[in-house]
Chains A and B, each alone.
Chain A
Amino acid sequence: MKINEKCIGCGSCEPYCPMNAIRKTSNEKKYFIDLDECVECGICKEFSNCPKDAIENTDLDHTRSIRKEFSDPKAPHVSSTGTYGRGTAEMKTNEVTGLIRKGYTALSLEIGRPGMGAKFSDIEKITKKLAKKKVTFAPESPLTYLIQNQDTGEIKKDYLNEKVLSAIVEFVIKTDRLAEILKAIKEVSSEIDTVFSLCIAEKEQGNTDFPILKIAEKQGFKVSINGKTNMGLGRPLYKEEQ
């Protein structure tokens, strides 16, 4: 994004930037966008009602376009999956896909959320930590396409300085490994310069007493009172025994 010479310095765009990347010029007469911090989400252009229409999209090279794909919900992941959003359909279509079976738990870490953003150098700290634990990153996730080496969790070097509003690390593990993985997640949380939102998902076991919640609580995680429920209304394309 760019603020051009038509800017009159009214500042109407400034509070719209989630990364605080819109700043005053040194003479305090106009505003500019700090491109290191800008994640190309486009909120400033779309919603701030600039009276001079001074906010422009700019041409993005192949590395910078990643910022837009992970930050602007209206931009599909043209570099990878072609889909919208920041992750996969995960548990939302589980009754159709059978992604999460009995005895398995899905985990998702949305790095940079809420509202703080994340550089891929920080995201890599998490993917490296989890790769050491031999997790298999979700193959349909846009983030997985940026991981150069699935065994080490290294992200392609070209992207390490790019910043996004958030990116999601997703994987499914056997539930008996949940405590070990949560411990690793807790450890890496103190090594990053941003935040992440963490969730776990499990297939209904025929009761309301989900064992994964007890495991999480035992590891020092507070389970939310609100969450997401797949109502099982889709047509299955799998059989549990497969």
Chain B
Amino acid sequence: MTHTLYREGNRKNLSNDFILFAVPSRNHIPGTSKNLKKFFKILLKHHPINYGSMDIGNKYGVEKEEILAKIGDDSAIHAAFDNEKDFQSALKEVKEADLGISVIASGLMDRVYQLAQEIGIERHTVEYSLGIWGKIENLPDKKILEITTMCGHGMITEKIVKKLIEEVRSHKCTAKKAAEKLSANCHCGIFNTIRAEKLIKEIVLDKKYLFNS
């Protein structure tokens, strides 16, 4: 389960992309849902731009009350943030709540390190991507990958991204709406709609990316 790890991007466009999530240990299951629900309630207070759980669904498909009600002992709960301030304040409140469950952050490693240090958190374990290997010549363009890899389970396809980009280009849809449509496919709620909207706008403006021609 490395669903939040391999997000393609550069320092600039990853600087507003942070995920905070909690995963119950398989040895800790009985009664964990109570603390996962507290965790989710804390996240909601800090302006997440998306949230959800793999087995329940995300902000763009399920009401938050329903997500809260359905959180089980083995649910993994996620939220995406588009700025450091909200991410850090959510993490601080999670730490203070002392829920005893594993909490993981995804984002720029040096920024996550510093933001955690500032609120007295010493990280325990780190995980780094070493890239994509094999038949990389068959991969989509890097700009498209920056969007599709925001769903770690591969639910957002290259073709649907290109189709929506062309709809934005021809004014059938806004970039915001396109990002939200894409987000619906990502059950966990880790798709960063704000970052996706910006990336779509950049691609639309770049004549290099004309997908209908």
Q: Which residues of A contact B (CB under 8 A)?
A: 14-18, 20, 41, 43, 47, 71, 73-74, 83-97, 100, 106, 108, 110, 112-116, 140, 165-166, 168, 182, 185-186, 189-190, 192-204, 208, 210, 213, 216, 221-235, 237
Contacts and interface: CB of A to CB of B under 8 A. Distances in A.
Contact of B125 (A110, A202, A221): A202
Q: A-B pairs with the 4 shortest C-beta distances?
A: A232-B124, A15-B159, A224-B129, A189-B133
A88 B128 contact: no
A228 B4 contact: yes
Interface of B: 1-9, 11, 14, 17, 23-28, 54-55, 74, 76, 91, 94-95, 98-110, 112-113, 116, 121-136, 138-140, 145, 148-149, 152-155, 157-160, 162-163, 184-185, 187-188
Contacts, number: 272
B1 A196 contact: no
B49 to A, nearest CB: 17
A12 to B, nearest CB: 10
A114 B106 contact: no
B136 A195 contact: yes
Contacts of B123: 204, 229-232
A16 B157 contact: yes
A86 B6 CA distance: 14
A88 B103 contact: no
Given A195-B136, A229-B116, A92 B187 contact: no
Contacts of B124: 94-95, 203-204, 230-232
A68 to B, nearest CB: 13
Nearest to B153: A73
Contact of B102 (A110, A185, A200, A234): A234
B1 A85 contact: yes
* Most chain B CB inside 10 Å of its own CB: which residue of A14, A85, A112: A85
Given A204-B123, A232-B122, A235-B100, A198 B129 contact: yes
A186 to B, nearest CB: 7
* Most chain A CB inside 10 Å of its own CB: which residue of B25, B98, B130, B148: B130
Contacts of B128: 199-201, 210, 213, 216, 223-224, 227
24 contacts: A74-B54, A89-B25, A92-B1, A92-B23, A96-B102, A114-B148, A115-B154, A165-B154, A190-B134, A194-B134, A197-B132, A199-B5, A201-B126, A202-B125, A202-B126, A203-B125, A208-B110, A222-B130, A224-B128, A225-B109, A229-B126, A230-B125, A232-B125, A237-B25
A196 B25 contact: no
Given A73-B54, A114-B154, A225-B11, A234 B100 contact: yes
B6 A114 contact: yes
B129 A18 contact: no
B50 to A, nearest CB: 15
A113 to B, nearest CB: 6
B109 A198 contact: no
Nearest to B188: A73
A86 B112 CA distance: 26
A122 B131 CA distance: 19
Given A88-B1, A114-B139, A229-B126, A234 B25 contact: yes
B126 A74 contact: no
B28 A96 contact: yes
Contacts of B130: 182, 198-200, 216, 221-224
Given A189-B133, A200-B127, A204-B122, A228 B104 contact: yes
